[in-house]
Amino acid sequence: MPTYNPSFITQQYLHTANSPFLDKVVFTIDHLHEGGPGIYSTFDVVKHLVSKQIPVTIFIQCSDPLNFCPAEKRIAQSIYDLDHNLVSLGAHALTRGNSQANQSNNLDKIKDVIADITGAEPQIMSYHGSNAGPENGISYAGITYARGITSVWSDASADNPLNTPVMNINSVNAAYDFIQQRNAANLSATLFVHSVELTSGSVKKLTFDTIVADVIGRRLQAMSYLSAMQTDYTGAPPTPGPTQPIDPPPGTPCPLRHFANSKITQYLRVNKRDGVNGVFQVAELQRFLNELGLGAGTADGIFGSNTKLAVISYQIIKGLGPDGIVGANTRASINAYCD
């Protein structure tokens, strides 16, 4: 099973200085995908988000309704079992133009799949395509939030004024402009992507990974799609986020306190004893990042993708260049806790 490998981040988000709360983002994934060589499955991507305590909603399709959607049921079960609190399952409508009978039959099958897995029928579904949105005359029984997922920010759809616009993730700047515009209007910003679109080196993956790093580094707040719908469209007050990004406070333990007078050095490397300090530095670095809640994973001394992403989040917090490399400036910042 491939492990999700985050990109090197090339830009960083500057949180609106005067905003009382962190800007809110919502992660949604379209369709269940098996993945393949070099292609992340939906399971891989959700596992990555869940490991960072990020809520995510997956809109699931049904490719074989006559047999009760066996492929999707198997994948959806494995994804839901990653974390029942963070993973939400929603339904995916048939394409625009299908009859009410076809849409209802599709929705009934998906509802059964989700109810079998979670014990409850879904409250949310997506409907998208060109001119996305639930069409006039089509209803989705039992679904509280049947929103069209649209590709541009427009709340004036002819069919349904309550469609959910999603951010353009073909550009990091465009995505963050969208987040700021939406949040300035007291609305959440929805990221909507197919897991197979997050290919290595793609701009979509870079944008996705940048937003994830900012959530971990507390420059953004992730909220669930259902919560977003409830607050965006019912006028309920938004869930307050942390008012301040985290910054390791004075008194945070020195990362290398297990060894007297030790600091992170340029000899940081995998499972190597530094000849000067005699320290397994990567493991110490991982413990430090974990104590800050940055999710470096098991302190195993191996500088893998989770450790890299935690370093990126630390760099974002500290206003350092977020490249995931523990260079001179990052070392100095960490070692300052040991002075």
Between residues 15 and 73, which has the closer beta carbon with respect to Zn ion?
Answer: 73
Smallest gap from residue 230 Cβ to Zn ion (A) = 23
In angstroms, what CA-CA distances link 258 with 241, 285, 293, 297?
Answer: 34, 11, 19, 19
Q: What is the DSSP string of 74-93?
A: HHHHHHHTT-TTTEEEEEEP
By beta-carbon proximity to Zn ion, the closer residue of 52 and 92 is: 92
The nearest distance, CB 192 to Zn ion, in angstroms, is: 9
Residue 239's contacts (CB-CB under 8 Å, 6 or more residues apart) are: 223, 227, 231
Say which DSSP state 249 is in.
Answer: P
Nearest residue relative to Zn ion (C-beta): 30
| Cβ-based nearer residue to Zn ion, 71 or 325 | 71
Site residues, Zn ion (CB under 5 A): 30
CB of 148 to Zn ion, least distance (A): 11
Nearer to Zn ion, 146 or 220 (CB): 146
Question: For residue 46, which of 230, 208, 206 has the smallest C-alpha distance?
Answer: 208
Among residues 248, 230, 242, the alpha carbon closest in space to that of 19 is found at 242
CB of 262 to Zn ion, least distance (A): 52
Nearer to Zn ion, 193 or 296 (CB): 193
Which lies closer to Zn ion via its Cβ, residue 30 or residue 232? 30
Are 216 and 294 in contact by the 8 Å Cβ rule? The answer is: yes
Residue type, 15: H
In the complex, the smallest distance separating the C-beta of residue 44 from Zn ion, rounded to whole angstroms, is 19
What is the C-alpha separation between 199 and 323, in angstroms, rounded? Answer: 19
Q: How many CB atoms lie within 10 A of CB 84?
A: 11
Angle, alpha carbons 17-24-243 (nearest 5°): 45
Task: Count CB-CB contacts under 10 A for residue 7.
Answer: 23
Show the tokens assigned to 245: 């990004």
Q: How far is the CB of 30 from Zn ion (least distance, A)?
A: 4
Alpha carbon of residue 107 to chain centroid: 26
Asked whether 24 and 85 are in contact (CB, 8 A), the reply is no
Closest to Zn ion by CB, 30 or 274 = 30
For Zn ion, give the closer residue by CB, 195 or 286. Answer: 195
How near is the Cβ of 135 to Zn ion at its closest, in Å? Answer: 16
Residue 269 Cβ vs Zn ion, minimum distance, rounded to whole Å: 44
Note whether 323 and 311 are within 8 A (CB). no
